[in-house]
Amino acid sequence: MNIFKELLLFSHVAFGVMGILAGVWLFVEVLNVSDQNKTRILRASLTVSFLISLSYLIGGYWYVFFYGPDKAIIKSGVWPWAHGFFMETKEHLFFVLLLLSIYLPVAVFKSDLLTNKSSRKLVLTITGLIIIIGLVMEGFGSVISAGVKMGLIGR
């Protein structure tokens, strides 16, 4: 068993979950914006961006260098759609998640969230999308893992 490969995969999932949680933290802070939490909002937006980007880079490295054998198992197994739909959709939808995460701090830093309600709605929209797509990514990841398991059971 390649421990490095497994550690990469766990890190990808862990940073993704932490990114989603940071998104929830930012969402709540923006809903309760005041003079006291303005700095926290800036920090939370940077945290989301950093964690999602890290999850993307680690997941991407794992996908490019280690996914091949798992893909072969899934495709020859009883759940070939775990790759055909779930992995293909996940690997391409992640680009959108990355774009939103990079854009989030820009929207936060360039807005006056305390006085402008529409700006708050924009930041909440971006953050909400990051949380939803992030959760979809986590769910799809678990189906892909189950696809490998089903492929191995069938052997």
Partner 1 sequence: MENNRVKFGFGLSVATTAILSAILVVAKEMNTVLKGWMKEFTGHHWVTHGILMLVFFLVLGFILTKYKADESLKLNDQRMSLIVGGGTLLSAIIIAGFYLFH
Task: Choose among 1, 59, 26: nearest CA to 130.
Answer: 26
Cα distance between residue 94 and residue 86, in whole Å: 12
How far is Cα of residue 87 from the mean position of the Cα atoms in its chain? 14
User: For residues 38 and 46, is the Cβ–Cβ distance under 8 A?
Assistant: no
Nearest distance in Å: CB 52, partner 1: 14
Residue 151 in tokens: 């492929």
Contact with partner 1 (CB under 8 A) among 11, 42, 103, 149: 103
Q: Show the site string, 65-84: x = touches partner 1 by CB under 8 A, - = not.
A: -------------------x
- Say which DSSP state 82 is in: I
Q: Which of residues 105-144 bind partner 1 (CB under 8 A)?
A: 106-107, 110-111, 116, 118-119, 121-122, 125-126, 129, 133
Q: Which of residues 24-53 bind partner 1 (CB under 8 A)?
A: none
Cα distance between residue 152 and residue 155, in whole Å: 5
Query: Considering beta carbons, is residue 69 or 152 the nearer one to partner 1?
Result: 69
Residue 131 vs residues 21, 55, 102, 137: alpha-carbon distances, Å: 8, 14, 14, 10
Query: Considering beta carbons, is residue 3 or 118 the nearer one to partner 1?
Result: 118
Query: Considering beta carbons, is residue 44 or 133 the nearer one to partner 1?
Result: 133
How many chain residues are in contact with partner 1, going by CB under 8 A? 30
Enumerate binding residues for partner 1 (CB under 8 A). 60, 63-64, 84-85, 88-89, 91-93, 95-96, 98-100, 102-103, 106-107, 110-111, 116, 118-119, 121-122, 125-126, 129, 133
